[in-house]
Structure 1
Amino acid sequence: MSRVWDIPVHDSTRVRDVRVAAEAACAVAGLGVHRAAAAALVATELATNLLKHAGGGRVVINLVGESGTATQAAGTCGATEVARATEVAGASAASEASAIHEASAISECSDRRVQIVSVDHGPGIDDVAAAMRDGYTTADSSLGAGLGACLRVSDDFDLHSRRDRGTVAVARIGAVPAAQHGAPRGRAAGPRVGGINLSLARAEHSGDAFGWTRSGPLLTLLLADGLGHGVRAAHASSAAVDELRRLVALPPTDILRRLDARLRKTRGAAVAVAQLDDDAGQLCFAGVGNVGGRLRTGAGWQPLVSHPGIVGAHFPATVPLQQVPWTAESLLVLHSDGLPGRWTPPDDPGLLAHDPAVVAAVALRDASSAASPLRDDTSVAVLCPDRRTDPHDRLP
């Protein structure tokens, strides 16, 4: 299930709320006391910065998997939870919510990380390099830790700031401190996956979900939008992501057909599947329902359009397959219909070198505003080449 902690930060009382949410997320993820303390420090510093430097903003906390895709591991979790959810599918809404909540607490994967995203529409940071120095602060009420400490204690940390557009910061904290992940590597190694997931009206669970899995040179990214909202929508999208593990060797259109059978006992979902063949340098895309994507190529942004229908309810007779080249400069954005229909992809070339979750959060921020809030559960997933030079994210 896609757990979401979404906290608006517009006064000092919300800083505590952000810290408590980070600690709660660490408890669900099964992180130890020291890693939970690191997450609490990062969350508190980011929330304080929102108030002092941006006039407010929001902090979104998700549970995510590994962003690097070089290994055979999958960036998805929740098999036990989905199985339990299936058992209670015929129960009342209240009973189902209780059972799924219980399963959620016991079925998180050991490699699950707490992702803390800070988003604002503020003036931006004039000197990012100075702001990233450990201990740097301009606010008397700050912890004095600064963004440099966030960088140091997080497994991954990245920040994008643009004058008069705002700042997005992303931190991920897992069970193992970043310093123990291994020695720096001399070159990038394959693509990375990241994203952000928000629920309508700040509900506990989002009806959207995304995940990836790898089989040899094939990397498959799936994004699902369960029909409607709430626990039953989350059940449908989680079932789609969980089933992906068993279908990774199939092409996208066959994956969608198999998912249609799997989701027949759920509400159904809109599902987009993108499959990258590293060896062939080719990306294949297929989707059913109101989900879609954009692909950045040398010529600009190309739309990836899904076919009408519902996976698990009204599956179309044919599903078109799009095939496009994938290069070192490509970038893929998959999104649910929570984004406006004519949203504009980010136009900052420097953004492409950042963490994929930063790219996703910037796209989501720029597609909404206080006057035009998100109208649905909303998820954005990004696939991009790994441009890091060591296991820890660095600013370009």
Structure 2
Amino acid sequence: MTRVWDVPVHDSTRVRDVRVAAEEASLLAGLDPHRTAVAALVATELATNLLKHANGGRMVIGLVDRVREETRAPVVQLTALDHGSGIHDVSAAMRDGYTTSEASLGAGLGTCLRISSAFDLYSTHRGTVAVARIDQAPGTTGPGNGQPGPTVGGINVPLAQAEHSGDAWSFVRWGSCPTLMLADGLGHGAKAAHASNAAVDALHRTAHLPPAEILRQMHPALRPTRGAAVAVAQLDLDSAELTFTGVGNIGARLYTAGSWEHLVSHPGIVGAQFPATVPVQRRSWKPGSLLVLHSDGLPSRWVPPDDPGLLAQDPAVVAATILRDANSAASPVRDDTSVAVLASDPADRHP
């Protein structure tokens, strides 16, 4: 699911582009007309807020798998990012019907919260990130859809606002062992997307295996493609242990007990140059732990967030904030960029 709409919103004409993108994404996701209208309303409200309250920003619209169920079902994800001055009173802004803009539809963030399947927002003086997910029926509005256990989210942005990203991430539950994977097809564009999509398909066939074996099984599946850098992280909920392995240049950072640690992938290309041995790293998974996987579109020296309030948010908001804050005009993006976050049970995360 690499079709992505990356829409800069710096004048009112782009609000329509955002709405049309939401409608096109809803069509790909198979949403009915009512839920398509909901996606269009939420997207339009978020885009309007970018103009009226942040002097513009960016909307990223794409499809993600429903992350809480074993079956794969597409969900429309709407992400608004800006570098504005932030929302002064988030609690007031999240009340249903609250608006300060004459140009608003009158829906407000509170309505977006109510009608989305999931909605979360993070705002500081550095700007605001809002993420809404729309599937066929409204759900609870917090991460995890009200179910216990780890949660996951991410963002995937193509280079130069292309239609498709050569990156992909996916999440599968198999018994007590949820698995997160991120793949970066070599290069970018359609052929890179083909490779990363093949990695996603292979993951869903092999999620019952340990991470190193998943990569070994994935290697022949990617031989007909140009290959990909791939990292796999699997959490054993019974033993509270995280197992990580990667081939290629996928970055990984683990947050545990107040500090960040690099997890290192092994050189190689899944589907082309697979190493004879795949090193495996194991770490304890504690309440409040959080794992970030990212492709090389993110600068290698990005600084992990240190705000406990952010780390307690929906993982998709964490991922989008990392992406927003890592890039700058002085360090332009040179490739597709994806960030995926695996976080502990929301009940164990405290701002």
> Could you state the TM-score of these two structures normalised by the residue count of structure 2?
0.95
Query: Is the Cα contact below 8 Å between 2:168 and 2:197 reproduced in 1?
Result: yes
Equivalent residue runs for 1:151-190 within 5 Å: 151-163=113-125, 165-178=126-139, 189-190=148-149
Q: Which moved more, 1:44-53 or 1:311-320?
A: 311-320
Deviation at 1:177, TM superposition (A): 2.2
Q: What is the CA–CA distance in structure 1 between the aligned matches of 2:208 and 2:31, rounded to whole Å? A: 32
Q: Write out per-residue CA displacement over residues 22-43 of structure 1, whole angstroms, 9 at most, x where no aligned residue.
A: 0111111110111011111100
Q: 1:388 to 1:35 in 2, by over 3 A?
A: farther
Map of 1:194 onto structure 2: 153
Query: Is the Cα contact below 8 Å between 2:118 and 2:140 reproduced in 1?
Result: no
Query: Is the Cα contact below 8 Å between 2:164 and 2:190 reproduced in 1?
Result: yes
Q: Is 1:50 the equivalent of 2:50?
A: yes
Map of 1:325 onto structure 2: 284
Unaligned regions of 5+ residues in structure 1, if any? 77-110, 390-394
Deviation at 1:373, TM superposition (A): 2.9
Aligned length: 348
Q: Write out per-residue CA displacement over residues 33-85 of structure 1, whole angstroms, 9 at most, x where no aligned residue.
A: 110111111001100110111111100001012233xx5x05x5xxxxxxxxx
Q: What is the CA–CA distance in structure 1 between the aligned matches of 2:18 and 2:274, rounded to whole Å? A: 41
Query: Is the Cα contact below 8 Å between 2:114 and 2:141 reproduced in 1?
Result: no
Map of 1:146 onto structure 2: 108
Deviation at 1:294, TM superposition (A): 0.5
Equivalent residue runs for 1:144-293 within 5 Å: 144-163=106-125, 165-178=126-139, 189-293=148-252
Q: What is the CA–CA distance in structure 1 between the aligned matches of 2:165 and 2:103, rounded to whole Å? A: 34
Q: 1:299 to 1:352 in 2, by over 3 A?
A: closer
Equivalent residue runs for 1:99-138 within 5 Å: 111-138=73-100
Q: 1:252 to 1:300 in 2, by over 3 A?
A: same
Q: What is the CA–CA distance in structure 1 between the aligned matches of 2:329 and 2:172, rounded to whole Å? A: 36
Q: 1:370 to 1:136 in 2, by over 3 A?
A: farther
Deviation at 1:216, TM superposition (A): 1.2
Amino acid at match of 1:143: L
Q: Is 1:384 the equivalent of 2:343?
A: yes
Amino acid at match of 2:26: C
Amino acid at match of 1:174: D
Deviation at 1:142, TM superposition (A): 1.2
Q: 1:179 to 1:212 in 2, by over 3 A?
A: closer
* Structure 2 counterpart SS, 1:178: coil
Q: 1:157 to 1:388 in 2, by over 3 A?
A: farther
Q: What is the CA–CA distance in structure 1 between the aligned matches of 2:259 and 2:83, rounded to whole Å? A: 25
* Structure 1 counterpart SS, 2:205: coil
Deviation at 1:299, TM superposition (A): 4.2
Q: What is the CA–CA distance in structure 2 between the aligned matches of 1:18 and 1:227, rounded to whole Å? A: 29
* Structure 2 counterpart SS, 1:275: strand
Amino acid at match of 2:24: A
Q: Write out per-residue CA displacement over residues 225-260 of structure 1, whole angstroms, 9 at most, x where no aligned residue.
A: 000111111010000111112211221111111111
* Structure 2 counterpart SS, 1:129: helix
Q: What is the CA–CA distance in structure 2 between the aligned matches of 1:338 and 1:219, rounded to whole Å? A: 25
Unaligned regions of 5+ residues in structure 2, if any? none
Q: Percent of counterpart pairs with the same letter?
A: 67
Q: What is the CA–CA distance in structure 1 between the aligned matches of 2:265 and 2:89, rounded to whole Å? A: 41
Q: 1:267 to 1:280 in 2, by over 3 A?
A: same
Amino acid at match of 2:305: P
Amino acid at match of 1:202: Q
Q: What is the CA–CA distance in structure 2 between the aligned matches of 1:179 and 1:38, rounded to whole Å? A: 15
Deviation at 1:179, TM superposition (A): 6.8
Amino acid at match of 1:363: I
Map of 2:3 onto structure 1: 3
Q: 1:142 to 1:299 in 2, by over 3 A?
A: closer
Which consecutive aligned stretches of 4+ in structure 1 deviate over 3 angstroms post-superposition? Answer: none
Query: Is the Cα contact below 8 Å between 2:150 and 2:344 reproduced in 1?
Result: yes
Equivalent residue runs for 1:7-18 within 5 Å: 7-18=7-18
Map of 2:41 onto structure 1: 41
Q: What is the CA–CA distance in structure 2 between the aligned matches of 1:365 and 1:48, rounded to whole Å? A: 19
> Could you state the TM-score of these two structures normalised by the residue count of structure 1?
0.85
